[in-house]
Amino acid sequence: MIKRAKPKAEPLPEAAPGGPRHVAIIMDGNGRWATQRGRPRLFGHHAGAKRVREVVEACPEVGVEYLTIFAFSTENWKRTQVEVAGLMSLFRRYITKETRSLSEFGVRVRFIGDRVRLDDKLIKLMNELEEATAHNTRVHLTIALNYGGRDEVARATKRLAQDVADGRLDPENVDEETLPKYLDTCVLPDPDLVIRTSGEARISNFLLWQSAYAEYEFIDTLWPDFTREEFAALCASYGGRDRRFGGVKT
Ligand code: FPP
């Protein structure tokens, strides 16, 4: 059989000045997308996983250096055992399958969230992917897996309290700059733009501390239908926003 080459994607419009450096995405709507097609929910998650590559590869074109995606929340364990097991298997397969292309594209992958509840095989694959891509700088992809903003703040506070108890930190010196150093995201800049697909206008425990001054885009598209063009358009419209961080325009 002759294998046809993948058609080359059309170039995206040039990155607008003042575009977002860090975009975070709540990839919602996989289940509804599958249901609309009379298929099981996992079919939607598999379709959703394919969109991740497209968006990652669009990042350099639209000037985005950091992309953070919400893959599995601390609340997602409440789903059926079949869906949870299917998602865990999807994450294992995704990492195994995508390591090479992510690395070749220059993506540095990091995971945030609590690894304690994840299975050993998945944790090993996550560690290997982080190590294999540690030298890359073109796109910083952070995958939130068993992540919850409140859980992250609680875990950070526990470590901070331990440093106080051990005499490494003076409580008098704890300020707004201290806590972020204990968060899973300590090496990342705060997100500039948070996108949620599928028409829901809530943040569902995602990057609570980090998104205090982010701009939000809640769009109707279901995640498996999200395109690089839509991503580029949202980044371009961000470039026109007037962000004052609580101050006034001078
Ligand atoms: C929300 O849609 C989506 C998830 C809980 C999982 C997100 C996972 C992926 C996009 C797949 C793979 C990701 C990686 C990194 C390989 P939903 O199930 O809540 O949809 P619904 O609201 O329509 O039910």
Q: 243 pLDDT band (50/70/90 cuts)?
A: low
**Which of 26, 30, 69, when mutated, tests ligand 1's pocket best, judged by the most ligand atoms within 8 Å of its CB?**
30
Residue whose Cα lies nearest atom 10 of ligand 1: it is 48
Phi, psi of 122 (to 5 degrees): -65, -45
Residue whose Cα lies nearest atom 18 of ligand 1: it is 31
Centroid of chain to Cα 60: 16
Q: 18 pLDDT band (50/70/90 cuts)?
A: confident
Q: For residue 5, is pLDDT > 60?
A: no
What local confidence, expressed as pLDDT, does residue 249 receive?
64
* 16 inside domain: no
- The DSSP symbol for 206 reads S
* 163 inside domain: no
- Enclosing domain of residue 136: 22-148+189-238
**For 205-224, what is each residue's pLDDT tens digit?**
999 999 999 999 999 999 99
Distances (CA, A) of 128 to 112, 119, 120, 250: 15, 14, 12, 48
* 105 inside domain: yes
Q: Is 11 helix (H, G, I), strand (E, B) or coil?
A: coil
Q: 162 pLDDT band (50/70/90 cuts)?
A: very high
Q: Which residues contact 126 (CB under 8 A, 6 or more apart)?
A: 95, 111, 115, 118, 145
Please say whether the beta carbons of 150 and 205 come within 8 A: yes
Q: For residue 23, is pLDDT > 60?
A: yes
Query: Amino acid identity of 236?
Result: A
Ligand 1 neighbourhood includes 141 CB (under 6 angstroms): no
What local confidence, expressed as pLDDT, does residue 6 receive?
59
**For 59-111, what is each residue's pLDDT tens digit?**
999 999 999 999 999 999 999 999 999 999 999 999 999 999 999 999 999 99
Q: Which of 28, 30, 184, 192 is catalytic?
A: 28
Query: Amino acid identity of 41?
Result: R
* 92 inside domain: yes
Q: For residue 1, is pLDDT > 50?
A: no
What local confidence, expressed as pLDDT, does residue 107 receive?
98
* 5 inside domain: no
C-alpha span between 220 and 195 (Å, rounded): 11
What pTM was estimated for this model as a whole? 0.93
C-alpha span between 65 and 82 (Å, rounded): 35
Residue whose Cα lies nearest atom 14 of ligand 1: it is 49
What local confidence, expressed as pLDDT, does residue 4 receive?
53
Q: For residue 24, is pLDDT > 90?
A: yes
Ligand 1 neighbourhood includes 146 CB (under 6 angstroms): no
Whole-number percent of the chain with pLDDT over 90: 88
State the total domains in the chain.
1
Q: 250 pLDDT band (50/70/90 cuts)?
A: low
Query: Amino acid identity of 201?
Result: A
Ligand 1 neighbourhood includes 30 CB (under 6 angstroms): yes
C-alpha span between 163 and 170 (Å, rounded): 9
Instruction: Give the nearest ligand 1 atom to 69 CA.
Output: 15
- The DSSP symbol for 68 reads E
* 106 inside domain: yes
Mean pLDDT, the chain, rounded, equals 94
Taken as a whole, the chain contains a residue count of 250
C-alpha span between 6 and 49 (Å, rounded): 18
Ligand 1 neighbourhood includes 147 CB (under 6 angstroms): no
* 197 inside domain: yes
**For 32-46, what is each residue's pLDDT tens digit?**
999 999 999 999 999
* 6 inside domain: no
C-alpha span between 70 and 27 (Å, rounded): 6
Ligand 1 neighbourhood includes 43 CB (under 6 angstroms): no
Domain at 53, CATH number: 3.40.1180.10
Ligand 1 neighbourhood includes 45 CB (under 6 angstroms): yes
